[in-house]
Structure 1
Amino acid sequence: MAWYWNLLIALATFLLMEGVAWSTHKYIMHGWLWSWHEDHHRPHKGFFEKNDYFALVFSAIAILLIIAGANGRPALLWAGVGVTGYGLFYFVFHDVIVHRRLKIRFVARSRYMKRIMRAHYIHHKVHTKEGAQAFGFLYAPKRFEGGKL
């Protein structure tokens, strides 16, 4: 398969993952698997939280796609690369920049970063299963622009 098809598959999968993440967050994390996600919305002790199980699930999906791709279905390998890429962006944005699980100094300067961070902070104002908004991770509608972080 030509390199540009591989790149297109990885990029398309990466972009599709935002929709998958939004749906998973709204309907599964704030739905029937709230028991895994709840501690992410409340103060807790320790570095790890039950919410990290979701990272393991998505990692397993990426690994299975890459293995299937390495065994004769190359398109699946590049889909796995797209899922992995999204996971890396998610980790850096969500865990490192927004929730500061790794202690680094980051100041949002771009309108884009300010908007997605503000949307995520608004999401976390709700500590219950229902009533939250802004379920995306790398995209937030313009209505979340403005205001203080």
Structure 2
Amino acid sequence: MTLWAAVAVTTATFLGMEFVAWFMHKYVLHGALWFLHRSHHVRHPHHLERNDFFFLFYGALSMAGIMYGSAEKDWRFWVGIGIAAYGAVYFFVHDVLIHGRLRFWRKSGNKYLRALNMAHKMHHKTTGRDGSEEFGMLWVSPKYFELARCKPAPSRTGKKITITSNS
């Protein structure tokens, strides 16, 4: 496989995973597998959730593609790499930035990350199986970009900044 073909397969897989994540989240996690996903929508004192088992599923799928395609570096290898890349970004964005499971990142002034956070908070507004919106991970509805533009960015110190003019 050429370098460009490998890049194309990996990129297409990464982008396709956003649709897969949205579809699975909306119709499977908030459907038949709600009994596992519910742990993600309620407060609890545990570091791990039943919902974390989904990481194992996608990790195994990625690893299988990488292992079975590694000898020839064929499409299976690059699909596995694309799934792994999406999983790494998902972990960083969702678990670290949004839910703060690793406490080295605080509020961001970046409009995209703020819009993403607002959309995710809307998703978690309901603790039940039904009534949620915004099921994707990286794609954000335009209305949240508008909200992120209108709402001032949080300051790093936690203090409100007031701007006065000297006239």
Indicate the TM-score class for this superposition, using the shorter chain for normalisation.
over 0.9
| Aligned counterpart, 2:35 | 35
Equivalent-residue separation in structure 1 for 2:119 and 2:108 (angstroms): 13
Q: In structure 2, what residue type is equivalent to 1:135? A: F
Could you tell which deviates more after superposition, 123-132 or 72-81? 72-81
Q: In structure 1, what residue type is equivalent to 2:93? A: F
Cα offsets for 1:8-36 (capped at 9, x unmatched): 11011000000000001001110000011
Equivalent-residue separation in structure 2 for 1:113 and 1:3 (angstroms): 31
Q: CA RMSD in A?
A: 1.4
3-state SS, counterpart of residue 136 of structure 1: coil
| Aligned counterpart, 1:102 | 102
TM-score normalised to structure 2 length: 0.85
Equivalent-residue separation in structure 2 for 1:21 and 1:105 (angstroms): 24
| Aligned counterpart, 1:65 | 65
Q: Which runs of 5+ in 1 are unaligned?
A: none
Larger Rg: 2
Instruction: Give runs of ≥4 in structure 1 deviating > 4 Å.
Output: none
Query: Percent identity of the aligned residues?
Result: 36
Equivalent-residue separation in structure 2 for 1:108 and 1:131 (angstroms): 28
Q: In structure 1, what residue type is equivalent to 2:133? A: Q
Q: Which runs of 5+ in 2 are unaligned?
A: 155-167
Q: In structure 1, what residue type is equivalent to 2:58? A: F
Equivalent-residue separation in structure 2 for 1:31 and 1:109 (angstroms): 35
Work out the number of aligned pairs and report it: 149
3-state SS, counterpart of residue 59 of structure 2: helix
| Aligned counterpart, 2:157 | none
| Aligned counterpart, 2:124 | 124
Equivalent-residue separation in structure 2 for 1:73 and 1:6 (angstroms): 9
